[in-house]
Amino acid sequence: MLLWFAVVAPVIVAEVFRSPMVDYRVVALGAVLPVGEAVLGGPRVLHTLVGAVLVLAIVMLSSRHRRLLRRRMLGLAIGLFLHLVLDGTWTDQDLLWWPGFGMSFGVDQVPELRHGLAFGLLLELSAMAMAVWAYRRYQLDDEENRSLLIRTGQLNRTVLR
């Protein structure tokens, strides 16, 4: 389940913030990053609120006096927060609020895989449909707009209105 996070998170950020200066590639990376914890056998820190807040704190502290770097790296934390929403981690009290209810992450499987194959496929198909919608919405058929997104991760200011 990568498309669900890689497509939906940046689209949410684009539609909510409508900022041409966000690096939407970094938002997608932040949203996909926790999926890698499946390799570790289950959810870990990136599936917790503490993990997302920690990444936000690291970004804020390490980018003091470097506005451009901060603006770009904030997308990582935003993507992590959106991952918690998009995979339903917010429904698992022990995992979301770890270590508030004990040191165990509570489950052996990442939330993305708990929903079953059929639901996962439905989410991936929904993400594909949203990708088509976003392609049109952000006029990515225009070479200049597409190139801007690929090179800088940003969307053309005029398409965000």
Q: pLDDT tens across 66-76, in order?
A: 998 998 999 99
**Is 106's pLDDT higher than 80?**
no
Contact call for residues 7 and 148 (beta carbons, < 8 A): no
Give pLDDT, residue 161. Answer: 85
Q: What is the per-residue pLDDT across 12-55, written as a single tens digit (0 to 9) for each?
A: 999 999 999 999 999 999 999 999 998 888 899 999 999 999 99
d(CA 42, CA 47): 10
Q: Round the average pLDDT of the chain to a whole number and report it.
A: 93
Report the percentage of the chain scoring pLDDT > 70: 99
d(CA 5, CA 136): 19
Asked whether the whole model's pTM tops 0.75, one would answer: yes
Q: What is the per-residue pLDDT across 79-97, written as a single tens digit (0 to 9) for each?
A: 999 999 999 888 888 889 9
